[in-house]
Each structure stands twice: as C-alpha cells, then as structure tokens.
Amino acid sequence: MLRASAACEAAGIPSSSLVSAGFIAQAQATRIGLGYPNLPWATLVGHPAVQTRDQLRNNVTRVTLPEIIGNLTDRIAKGTPRDEDPGVREIVFRGGLSDLNQYFLEREWSDGLPIVPPTLDRIQAFLAHTKRHPEEILGVLLPDNRAATIWSIAVNGVMAGCRPEYMPVLVALAEAMADPRYGVEHSGNTPGGETLIILNGPVIKKLGFNYTQGVMRDGFQANTSIGRFWRLYLRNVAGFLPHKTDKATFGNTWRVAIAENEDVVRAIGWMPLSCDMGFTEVDSTVTIARYTGGGMASSMSGSTPEELLPYLADGLVKQTFWQIMFTVGTGYGMLRPLALITPIIAETIAAAGWSKHDVKRFLFEHARMPAWEFERLLRDWTNKPIWNLAEEANLGNIPTEAFAVSDDRNRLVPIVWAPEHIMLVVTGDPLRTSGYTFGHNGQLGFPVTRKIDL
C-alpha cells in the first residue's frame, strides 16, 4: 500500500496508507527505500482477521480514523532518510577475520554465517569473468530502490563463497531478480516462500554443478554458494532484512541451486526446462521462481506412466491449497507448480512412448479437486470476494472448458489453466524412484529465465 501512496504523493495527491501493527517496522524501512521517509500511515490495531466486528469497529474509530484525518489535514513531520551506502571502492573495515564478520553482522550485511571478505583483489577476480562494466545497472530493486550493479554482484558473490568463474551465473541471476515479472518486491511477504534456482545447459558441467544424488543438499560449492548468493543479494541490495522489510511469518532458509540432468533428458528425447522457457538446448540458462513449500513423493512404484504419475498429481494438489488464489482471484492463471522427477522415473515414462507434454497433460487432467472444494478454498481460506467458478467462466475470466463444463459441484477442476503451466524437471538420484512437488507463490515470484553469458 505504501508504494501506491508514494505514487499519489509524487502526483501531488495527499495520501494515508493503512498499516497493520505487525508491519510497522516494515513500513518504516519501506518508505525510506521509496524515497519518502515521512510517508504517513494510519495504524490498524492488532490483526483485523482475528477481531470481532465490534472490536474492529472500535479500533478503527478510536485509532485508525483519527490518524487518517490527521495525515490528510496536518503537516507531516520530517522523516529520517536512509544512511548513505559505502562508495564503490571504499574500504569499510581493516582487521582480522573474526572482527570483520562481527562488523558485517552488526550492520546487517551478513546472514549470520561467516563471509569471505570482499577485498578489492577478490572482487577484481570476479569482474575478470564478465565483459560488462562494473558500474552497469541491471535494474532497480525494491524495497530499498537500490541499483543492482555488476560491482555489487561481485561483492556479494565473494561474500557468499562463490568462485570467480561463477560470475556469469550471478549476473544472470541479478537480471532475473530485477525482472518485473518475477516480483522481487514480494520476497518478504507473509508466506515466507523461498526462491529455487534451476540451471540448464553447458554451464552445469563447465562449473561442476551437482545434478544427481542429493541435488537439493548442500555440500557442492557451485550449488551451495550460488544459492547463498541469492539470499545475500536480497539482503544487501534489494534490502530484505528480518524483522524489518522481511515479514515472512515462519520463513525458509535459502535453497541450494539445482541443475537438470540433461544427459538423461536428451537420451529419452525430451526437452530441458530451458526450452520450455523459450531458449534452445545449447543455451546456458538460469530459471528462478518462488515456492512456498514442497513435499517428497518417496519411492514411487509402477512400470507404466499411468501407475507412476498419480503420485505426482496427488502431490501437486496437496501442495496447493491457499495458493489456489493465484489461479482464480488475486491472480488469474499465474500459478506455476513444479514437479521434480528422478531420471529412472523419466526413463520409464519415456520408454512407454510418452513425451514431456504427455506427462504435463496427464498431470493437468489428474491434479484436480472438486469444484466445491476449489470454491471453498477461495471463499473460506483466502477470503476472496470472487469465488464462484461458473460466474468467473461466464465473465470470460477463466477457461470454461477447464472450470465450468457443467454445473455439477462435484466436477473435478484443475489447479492450473493449462498443461503448460505445470513445470517439470528431471534431476536427482538416477536410480531412486522418487519425485518432489512444490507449491508456487504465483505472481509473487513468477518464473523467469535468463541466459548465462559464458
């Protein structure tokens, strides 16, 4: 809401945001990043969702309404702007490793783990792996409205423990983070979703990414340090700080980057994820999307696609409950759930003559729930004023053939609009019969792919 208020103020229109009591610290930090350190708001006492009507009315009339009137009629006190960031080549600390880490912790530049000191020589080693100018701006990241530069990428890459040759991957990641379709400004929202980074192309073997057993486990430098870079860059450049701009209710830690097993993908005649995202088989790419959680489909059994794929269909539905609002409601057709399958599962399915599209079609047809359940989730779990699927179809907002083929409330409807909205990646232990399904955060972390310039 503060971003809307900032737009009003820039147009010369007085405004007053509404901020729930639990988000005051986030509001204070966000308005500074927006360039309006005295942007006013009115407080919503407590949390409206757990108050009776009488309690809510009393709190609004006693506190919120008077503050709104004051914000629109009185002179607003001058705010305190953000401290200036250090200069590009400014030496911010001299001393030993322990003292340096303490210094970075106190200034909230660190995630709590020891960092590699970003010395000028280490930064230059990273810059040697890109032809781009150190001060080139790739985009401006919210909530702090800070520029994402090649220099800051190198600095945070050093701190995360990356190797200099990873620099092209880090640049592509920062470009993806700055893409408006991804929605970096939502990185600290209530569900605490965390971004998954997926690698494709020759970069996987060139830089030594793990793409077999334990693919989501730390312990491999490329996968681990690049995953850590993502969270450090969100902290130090975008400006997401716990207890301030990051308001995840529980949160997740950063995820290691994963890579697709393209040897198997090619052998069975499928296309890798990068091709699904509009690139070619020879391109090295990085894909990002934010997921609210995930679940293991362990030890799947069966010798045919029809026997194996129900495990994944069931998992996709189980990981999608309140997120259904990204299919209808808050978002329309923005849900992109992800399924990982191990090579032996992919090989078994392909041996039956099934293409990757056949798999997505099966999952689309079987990852379904009764229409009444879909509507109940919208109405009761997400409090959406729009929840009748037939009405939405009649208005042309959602596909009739998927959601309103009849009036039967028990008809099964899909969790996404089309088979192509289900993402599928082959990776993990080559000889284990398992899958993994992720619940997606919709347009608040929409999938974006960038080419890696090696």
Do 43 and 170 belong together in one domain?
no
User: Which tokens is 226 given?
Assistant: 């690049």
Q: What is the pLDDT of residue 63?
A: 83
Q: 3-state DSSP call for residue 411?
A: coil
pLDDT tens track for 13-38: 888 888 887 778 777 777 877 777 88
The answer for residues whose C-beta is within 8 angstroms of residue 352's C-beta and 6 or more apart is 304, 305
Residue 60 included in any domain = yes
Average pLDDT over residues 101-117: 97
Backbone angles phi, psi at 416, to 5 degrees: -135, 170
Do 377 and 403 belong together in one domain?
yes
pTM: 0.93
Do 340 and 303 belong together in one domain?
yes
Measured between alpha carbons, how far is 416 from 422 in angstroms, rounded to an integer? Answer: 8
Residue 185 included in any domain = no
Q: 3-state DSSP call for residue 8?
A: helix
Q: For residues 356 and 271, is the Cβ–Cβ distance under 8 A?
A: yes
Do 341 and 445 belong together in one domain?
yes
Measured between alpha carbons, how far is 429 from 417 in angstroms, rounded to an integer? Answer: 31
Q: What is the pLDDT of residue 406?
A: 93
Do 440 and 294 belong together in one domain?
yes
Q: What is the pLDDT of residue 128?
A: 98
Closest CA to 225 of 208, 243, 244, 237: 208
Do 148 and 251 belong together in one domain?
no
Measured between alpha carbons, how far is 68 from 431 in angstroms, rounded to an integer? Answer: 62
Q: Which helix (H) or strand (E) holds 286?
A: strand 285-297
pLDDT tens track for 122-143: 999 999 999 999 999 999 999 9
Interstrand relation of 41-44 and 412-414 (parallel, antiparallel or unpaired) = unpaired
pLDDT of 369 above 90: yes
Q: For residues 154 and 127, is the Cβ–Cβ distance under 8 A?
A: yes
Do 145 and 229 belong together in one domain?
no
Cis peptide bond N-terminal to 114, omega within 30: no
Q: What is the pLDDT of residue 12?
A: 84
Average pLDDT over residues 184-212: 96
Backbone angles phi, psi at 278, to 5 degrees: 100, 10
> In this prediction, what percent of the chain has a pLDDT beyond 70?
100
For residue 73, name the pLDDT band (cuts at 50, 70, 90).
Answer: confident
Compute the residue count for the chain: 454
The residue ranking higher by pLDDT, 62 or 260, is 260
Measured between alpha carbons, how far is 112 from 437 in angstroms, rounded to an integer? Answer: 29
Measured between alpha carbons, how far is 194 from 254 in angstroms, rounded to an integer? Answer: 7
The domain boundary, picked from 122, 142, 176, lies at: 176
pLDDT of 184 above 90: yes
387 alpha carbon, distance to own chain's centre: 25
Residue identified by tokens 């975008």 is: 238
Q: Domain of residue 36: give its range.
A: 2-73
Q: For residues 445 and 289, is the Cβ–Cβ distance under 8 A?
A: yes
Residue 154 included in any domain = yes
Q: For residues 285 and 279, is the Cβ–Cβ distance under 8 A?
A: yes
> In this prediction, what percent of the chain has a pLDDT beyond 90?
76
Residue 297 included in any domain = yes
Do 55 and 129 belong together in one domain?
no
For residue 318, name the pLDDT band (cuts at 50, 70, 90).
Answer: very high
Q: Which helix (H) or strand (E) holds 4?
A: helix 2-10
pLDDT of 227 above 90: yes
Q: What is the pLDDT of residue 27?
A: 77
If one counts the domains in the chain, the total is 3
Average pLDDT over residues 395-420: 96
Q: What is the pLDDT of residue 7?
A: 82
The answer for residues whose C-beta is within 8 angstroms of residue 317's C-beta and 6 or more apart is 367, 368, 369, 415
Q: Which helix (H) or strand (E) holds 149?
A: strand 146-149
Residue 186 included in any domain = no
Helix-, strand-, coil-residue percentages of the chain, each rounded to 5 = 40, 15, 45
Do 172 and 286 belong together in one domain?
no
For the ranges 55-64, 91-100, 336-345, which has the lowest average pLDDT?
55-64
Residue 339 included in any domain = yes
Closest CA to 160 of 289, 259, 245, 256: 256
For residue 381, name the pLDDT band (cuts at 50, 70, 90).
Answer: confident
User: Which tokens is 9 given?
Assistant: 């103020």
DSSP secondary structure, 289-347, as one string: EEEEEEEEE-S---SSHHHHHHHHHHHHHHT-SGGGGGTSSSSSS----EEEE-HHHHH
Residue 78 included in any domain = no
pLDDT tens track for 156-172: 999 999 999 999 999 99
Residue 85 included in any domain = no
Q: What is the pLDDT of residue 282?
A: 96
Q: What is the pLDDT of residue 4?
A: 83
Closest CA to 68 of 11, 3, 14, 13: 14
Do 168 and 196 belong together in one domain?
no
Do 18 and 102 belong together in one domain?
no
The domain boundary, picked from 73, 108, 124, lies at: 73
Do 313 and 368 belong together in one domain?
yes
The domain boundary, picked from 176, 201, 232, lies at: 176
Beta bridge partners of 286: 199, 450
Q: For residues 229 and 173, is the Cβ–Cβ distance under 8 A?
A: yes
